[in-house]
Amino acid sequence: MLPATAVKVPFLDVGAASRELRAELLQALSEAVDSGWYVLGASVARFEGEWARFCDTTDCVGTGNGFDALHLALRAMGVGDGDEVIVASNTYIATWLAVTAAGAVPVPVEPDAHTMNLDAESCSEVVTGRTRVILPVHLYGLPADMDAINDVARAHGLRVLEDAAQAHGAWVRGRPAGALGDAAAWSFYPSKNLGALGDGGAVTTNDAELAETVRRLRNYGESSRFVNETPGVNSRLDEIQAAVLTVKLAALGRWNRRRREIAERYLVELIAAPVTLPTVPSWATPAWHLFVVRTARREALRAHLHDLGIATAVHYPVPPHLQPAYRGLGWTRGSLPVAETMHEQVLSLPIGPHLSDEQVDAVIAGVASFR
Ligand SMILES: *Cc1c(COP(=O)(O)O)cnc(C)c1O
């Protein structure tokens, strides 16, 4: 039985960020209403400039969501029918779906067993004449081993697209995620470290030509008014969402520091707990989008925490290759055993900028008391 005094811990209180910045957000929304210009205007241009500066890139192109950022960046890299893109076997399915949407084939590679991120050496083993791009995910906010991945890409003449949807504010050796490959795709889905009040996305890059191609593709392929260069799509970042993101970007550094503080407490205070803690290579500064532990007794741990009033989540219960959507590709259980085991063992503990010290204490006590 849960004592009446127990501290409740939600998995993530998405509304807390909005409540913290309520006055500034309402001011920004009010200005957006009064502006009389609602698509691709000054707020989008301003946010693109600020996000490029944050990512230390020359260019940023806002898109309607993270999926389109991935898909359009792939198309801008020339990926099309029959091409192959190397992807992580353990990721959110959006990574794979973006490859499929570009007409290409996702070629999965098993992750490193410790970091759970794409393994560069395994990438080099699956390169064929049709391979165009390596698409690493900074999974859970831990940057992938980009130096090694870039080396493999360079050796084979491939391009590298970061799926940075979980990595706002992650770093590798002093360089921010978003500037670590040829381009990066971002999502501003509400629950991400930097989230809009709805959908949003962006591509960052130091390749001006690639940026220009994405800029065209997101707006019907238009190169100038009513001149349609390529068959593009409609995937523009809204003025309202751009204004919201500019307000929230000012808090991102502080919010990420709080995430780091919580992650460091978990890493130290759960050292003796019966779970495998995340591995952080010395060169990586994670954004701690999620704090994911592993245990062969995941469901029991989940139930134990639930009984203590602590919510958890599973990212993700089914790997992409076993989703019904990919039945046609011929994958079966056992095809990608490392990913399959991870999907059975991962459990995300509550982490977020608005978790109180008391709630962090409760999570630590809860995991430590698991038998
Ligand atoms: C959230 C997410 C996406 C997709 O972003 P949307 O904005 O929801 O389209 C892609 N890849 C990863 C790893 C994500 O976490």
152-182 pLDDT tens trace: 999 999 999 999 999 999 999 999 999 999 9
Q: How far is the CA of 258 from the centre of ligand 1 (A)?
A: 23
pLDDT value of position 18: 97
pLDDT value of position 2: 61
Nearest 10 degrees: Cα torsion 325, 327, 330, 331: 70
Give the ligand 1 atom nearest the CA of 199. 7
Q: How far is the CA of 186 from the centre of ligand 1 (A)?
A: 8
Our answer on whether the CB atom of 91 is closer than 6 Å to any ligand 1 atom is yes
**Cβ–Cβ under 8 Å, residues 273 and 370:** yes
Q: Which two tokens stand for residue 339?
A: 């990913």
Domains by residue range for the chain, with CATH:
17-246 (3.40.640.10), 252-368 (3.90.1150.10)
Give the ligand 1 atom nearest the CA of 94. 10
pLDDT value of position 226: 79
Q: Whose CA is closest to atom 2 on ligand 1? A: 165
What percent of the chain clears pLDDT 70, i.e. is strictly above it?
99
- Rounded Cα distance between 72 and 213, Å, is 9
Our answer on whether the CB atom of 163 is closer than 6 Å to any ligand 1 atom is yes
- Strand-pairing partners, residue 291, are 349
What percent of the chain clears pLDDT 90, i.e. is strictly above it?
95
pLDDT value of position 65: 98
Average confidence score pLDDT of the chain? 96
DSSP 88: E
pTM: 0.97
pLDDT value of position 223: 85
Q: Which residues contact 217 (CB under 8 A, 6 or more apart)?
A: 72, 75, 76, 230, 232, 233, 235
pLDDT value of position 193: 98
Answer whether residue 1 shows pLDDT above 60: no
pLDDT value of position 6: 80
Answer whether residue 227 shows pLDDT above 70: yes
Pocket test for ligand 1, best of 70, 85, 92 (most atoms within 8 A of CB): 92
Q: Whose CA is closest to atom 14 on ligand 1? A: 165
pLDDT value of position 329: 86
Q: How far is the CA of 57 from the centre of ligand 1 (A)?
A: 21
- Rounded Cα distance between 82 and 100, Å, is 10
The continuous run of DSSP H or E covering 84 comes out as strand 84-88
Mean pLDDT over 268-284 rounds to 97
Give the ligand 1 atom nearest the CA of 68. 9
Q: How far is the CA of 66 from the centre of ligand 1 (A)?
A: 5
Q: How far is the CA of 315 from the centre of ligand 1 (A)?
A: 12
237-271 pLDDT tens trace: 999 999 999 999 999 999 999 999 999 999 999 99
Q: How far is the CA of 269 from the centre of ligand 1 (A)?
A: 31
Q: Cis peptide before 316, with omega less than 30 degrees from 0?
A: yes
52-79 pLDDT tens trace: 999 999 999 999 999 999 999 999 999 9
Our answer on whether the CB atom of 95 is closer than 6 Å to any ligand 1 atom is yes
Mean pLDDT over 22-49 rounds to 97
pLDDT value of position 38: 96
pLDDT value of position 3: 62
Give the ligand 1 atom nearest the CA of 69. 9
